[in-house]
């Protein structure tokens, strides 16, 4: 991932992760790679949601988290969750010293079958819109680690593949047969898209793949 972010031949790298953890963010920060995540600058213990961050940033890397994150918290009087970057949820303050109250002391993320309905509400609808926008802006999708267990996301991917003959996906997975068995949406198109070269299969994970192979796929003619 770091190699892709630093590759000058890739003008825009949108990372869509359904994980709730902050491993991607920490990896990018550790390697001094700027990114946009839809939240504004640090204000004391908080970073407030700012959708324009996706459009105005000069960073070529954007992170989209449709399922939320372990550092998103609901703040009293604020419509959307904010990123909490302090050390004490019970003593949350802005840079001015003004105290802000965390309404619910659990992070704002989605899990379980009900999450599909929540895609239409609040911050999750905003992120889902941005994810759809990202799909329309790219013709290459590199996928690793996704289990194809989210029907709404599955349809989004299949629709994107069918939208243009130029759209193609590199599927990185040790055992792709597991995915076909798990997802009816993928099973219906898998064989045809593999034969057409629209799904390129590599039985490995992204961390094990050769960066040159991934970059070559992204920059294919």
Give the Cβ contact number of residue 95 at 10 Å: 11
For residue 53, pLDDT beyond 80: yes
Residue 123: pLDDT band with limits 50, 70, 90: very high
96 DSSP β-pair partners = none
Q: Which residues neighbour 192 within 8 Å (Cβ) at sequence distance 6 or greater?
A: none
Question: Which pLDDT belongs to residue 215?
Answer: 94
Q: What value does the mean pLDDT take over residues 126-153?
A: 93
Interatomic CA distance for residues 51 and 47, integer angstroms: 12
Per-residue pLDDT for 198 more than 90? yes
pTM for this model (two decimals): 0.91
Q: What is the mean pLDDT of the chain?
A: 92
Question: Do 219 and 190 form a contact (C-beta atoms < 8 A)?
Answer: no
Beta bridge partners of 82: 73
Q: What is the pLDDT of residues 54-74, one digit of tens each?
A: 887 788 999 999 999 999 999
Asked if 109 and 67 count as a contact pair (C-beta separation under 8 A), the reply is yes
Distance CA 190, CA 35 (A): 33
Q: Any idea where the domains of the chain sit in the sequence?
A: 1-138, 139-221
The strand pair at 82-84 and 72-73 is best described as: antiparallel
């Amino acid at each position: 991932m770091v190699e892709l972010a630093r590759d000058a031949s890739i003008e825009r790298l949108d990372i869509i992760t359904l994980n709730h953890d902050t491993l991607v963010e920490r990896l990018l920060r550790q390697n001094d790679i700027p990114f946009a995540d839809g939240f504004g600058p640090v204000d004391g213990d908080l970073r407030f949601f700012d959708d324009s961050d996706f459009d105005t940033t000069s960073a070529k890397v954007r992170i989209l988290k449709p399922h939320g994150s372990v550092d998103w918290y609901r703040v009293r009087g604020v419509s959307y969750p904010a990123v909490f970057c302090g050390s004490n949820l019970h003593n949350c303050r802005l840079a001015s010293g003004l105290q802000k109250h965390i309404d619910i002391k659990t992070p704002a993320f989605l899990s379980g079958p009900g999450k599909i309905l929540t895609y239409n509400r609040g911050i999750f609808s905003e992120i889902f819109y941005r994810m759809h926008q990202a799909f329309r802006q790219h013709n290459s999708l590199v996928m690793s680690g996704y289990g194809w267990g989210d029907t709404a996301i599955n349809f989004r991917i299949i629709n994107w593949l069918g939208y243009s003959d130029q759209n193609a996906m590199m599927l990185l997975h040790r055992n792709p047969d597991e995915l076909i068995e798990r997802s009816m949406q993928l099973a219906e198109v898998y064989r045809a898209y593999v034969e057409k070269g629209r799904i390129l299969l590599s039985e490995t994970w992204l961390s094990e793949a050769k960066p040159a192979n991934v970059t070559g796929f992204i920059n294919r003619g």
